[in-house]
Every structure is written in structure tokens, then in C-alpha cells.
Amino acid sequence: MNKKTVRDIDIKGKKVLVRCDFNVPFDENRKITDNRRIVAALPTIKYLIENDCKVILCSHLGRPKGEVKPEFSLDIVAAELSRLLGQEVKLAKDVVGPDARRLAENLKPGEVMLLENVRFEPGEEKNDDELSKAFASLAEVYVNDAFGTAHRAHSSTTGVAKYLPAVSGFLIEKELNFLGSALENPERPFMAILGGRKVSDKIGVIESLLEKVDVLMIGGAMAYTFFKAMGYNVGNSVCELDKLDLAKEVMEKAKTKGVKFMLPVDTKVGKEFKPDTESKTVKFSEIPDGWEGFDIGEETIKLYSEELKKAKTVIWNGPVGLFEFDQFAVGTNSIAKALADIDAVKIVGGGDSAAAVEKAGLADKFTHISTGGGASLEFLEGKKLPGIEALQDK
């Protein structure tokens, strides 16, 4: 990684503003249901505490759209951080207002505070310059450790970096090292599994990976657009009729590049979009009218699992079925188990596939599970991420 990290500059005793990704899921009682993103930020926070820094953390939670909405307060994050760090993390009542300033001015070395939800500020998502300056006025150094928002040019992710020395934390360093080395210098065979709903969502990633991988496996609802492009009936399955030519081009490009392009050979279909719907497994070419494809079938699971045994590097992005419904989570869980069993560099590209691996209890069997859904996708596409670009080069 050619960006400076907190290790590369003198931070001893300094006041440091850290952008974290504490956008965690919580239930109707406002209890955090998955604290992974908070845990992922701890190495950077602890390093700053050990170096006697005065630590000011900031993050967004949910989509309050520039309004103060109590249900999106970071109070639940402050409580969880206090528990995990074993010391009090004070929460400011505002983002860059009087309370935030008072707490920041009174911070002692080794103490930690958290600003209120940055998206309570209408200027945050507009990358407002005045707000960026207000963030910068709180500290002497800026650290970005929020990979999940690195693809957004907001005041707290890029704007503030214009006014303070800006470096990365350990989480961003880890993300870029794993994702970067997998793309730039993979051990081969290099395989990718892409799932998800639409070809259009993943087309940039597909085209980028076709330049790099030896094998590309397709799953999820986007497979039906490929089936349709091949002239088969897809029943009521999700299908982008305006992307059939694109699907054909992708298959043609794979052939030209010598990439093994794998589509499901069978599919589990259901009558309706509900957990307990009637279902059956059919050949990909025999989806009946009135039925909808929701998962890969047993033959595909076998085929993909056998192929993966040869892999030395694998990137997986997107579930291969409707994994939220148990009867259609079989494919995704089976792929997770197949990957867990092989000896290779295995990277899960955030979002739903990361949730599936966690749910299956297999997270410790993977080399790296990315914390950034959209950011991982854009990185895999080869796009520049504004939050990373804004940091100092080594």
C-alpha cells in the first residue's frame, strides 16, 4: 500500500480525528445485532491510546439525510466501544457544535470521545467545505479507517483531509493489502464467485475480473439474465431484459480471454417470494412458467465445489441464492463450506456474502472478510476510492 498509515507519522500526544465505520445493524430495541465493524476499528484506536493521543472518533449510522434523528444516535456505539475498550467513551451531543468542541478541548492523553452521527449534518454528504474545516478544527491529525465509506467523497471522508495531515488506520491498510495483492499478484489458479441480483450492478466487476481470473463462477439472480441471453425460458425469475446483449458480450469476452465462465447447471425454483413457498430443483434450461429461480441446485453446488478445490486464490462477492430464506440458503452455505475446506487465499468482498459466512460460523476459515460492501466492489472494479486518494502518499 503506497499510502501513509498512523505508523508513518509522529502522532505521539496529538489530538487525532478518526473516521470509523460504525454503521452497525441494530434491532427495534436499539440493541446492536452485529458489532464486527466496531471490533474492526479497535486496533487503530488502541494504538492511538497507547501513544497518548487524544482520540476523537466519528462515524455515520443509517441514513438520517442531514436531520437529527434520535433513532440514529451513536449512543449505542459509544456504549459498546466503552465496553470493548474497558474505558469510558464520551459521546458529544452534536457533531461539530459547542458540546463537541468542549469535549475535544478537555480531552486528556489516552482519552476517547465520539462525535454524534456525522450525517446529522446536512453538509456531510455534500462534502461541504465549511463542515470539513469544522471537523479539521477539532484535531491536529486526521486518520481514515472507514473502508466501508471510502468510495464516498463526504466532508468526514475526504473534505477534512485537505486541512489536516491525513493517513490511514490499520483497517484500511489491511483491506488494501489483501484486496490489492489478490488482484495484482494472485497465486493461481485465481477464481472469482460473483452472486447478487443484477448483471448491471456487477458489470464493472465482471469486466475487471475477466482481465485477471482463470475461472469466473456466476450465481444469484443475475444468472437468469445469462440464461435468457442464451435463449432459455426463465419463468418469473429476476431478469434484466435490457441487458441481454451485455450478457452475451460478457460470455464472448470470457471465451476470447480463455477464462472458464461457469453458470449454474440446475436451479432451485419457488412458486412465490416467501420463506415457505413450494419449491423444486430443475435444469437451468427447464425453468417452468410461473416459477422463480431462488438458488443454485445440487448439481451446481457439486460442480462449483469440485472446481474450487483447484483454486489458490478466491474472491467471493455476493450470495448465490436468496440466503435470507432458509430453504434457498443451501447454495450460499454450501459454497461457504466448500471454501472453508480448501487451502487457498480466500477473500470475501463484504456485504451479504460476509453476512452469510458469519451466519454459517465459518468466518475464521477465511483469509480476509472485507468490511466494505460498495467500497470493495468499486475497488475490485479498479475504480479510485476518494477516501483513499485523499490520504498522504508514502
* Residue 385 banded pLDDT, cuts 50, 70, 90: very high
Q: Measured between alpha carbons, how far is residue 80 from residues 39, 88, 353, 391 in Å? A: 10, 10, 25, 28
Q: Could you tell me the residue range of the domain that residue 284 belongs to?
A: 178-380
Q: In the predicted model, what is the mean pLDDT of residues 8-21?
A: 97
79 and 200 share one domain: no
Is position 198 annotated as part of the catalytic site?
Answer: yes
193 and 273 share one domain: yes
Gap between the Cα atoms of 81 and 112, Å rounded: 10
Selecting among 14, 19, 37, 228, the annotated active-site residue is 37
Selecting among 198, 257, 337, 359, the annotated active-site residue is 198
Look at residues 355, 358, 345, 350 and name the one whose alpha carbon lies nearest to residue 376: 350
Confidence (pLDDT) at 350:
67
Selecting among 321, 331, 351, 372, the annotated active-site residue is 351
Gap between the Cα atoms of 196 and 375, Å rounded: 16
Mean per-residue pLDDT of the chain: 94
Confidence (pLDDT) at 271:
96
CB burial readout 299-323, b (16+ within 10 A) else e: ebbebbbebbeebebbbbbbbbbbb
> Which is more confident, 202 or 271?
271
Contacts of 290 by beta carbon, 8 Å cutoff, 6+ apart? 235, 236, 271
CB 339 within 8 A of CB 306: no
Domain boundary (112, 146, 171) is at 171
41 and 154 share one domain: yes
Is position 46 annotated as part of the catalytic site?
Answer: no
Q: In the predicted model, what is the mean pLDDT of residues 153-175?
A: 97
Confidence (pLDDT) at 56:
98
Is position 351 annotated as part of the catalytic site?
Answer: yes
Confidence (pLDDT) at 356:
82
Flag whether 385 is in a domain. Answer: no
pTM of the model: 0.86
* Residue 214 banded pLDDT, cuts 50, 70, 90: very high
DSSP letter string over 265-323? SEEEEESSSSTT--EEEEEGGGPPTT-EEEEE-HHHHHHHHHHHTT-SEEEEES-SS-T
Residue 46 pLDDT exceeds 90: yes
21 and 160 share one domain: yes
Q: In the predicted model, what is the mean pLDDT of residues 187-211?
A: 91
Selecting among 62, 110, 204, 374, the annotated active-site residue is 374
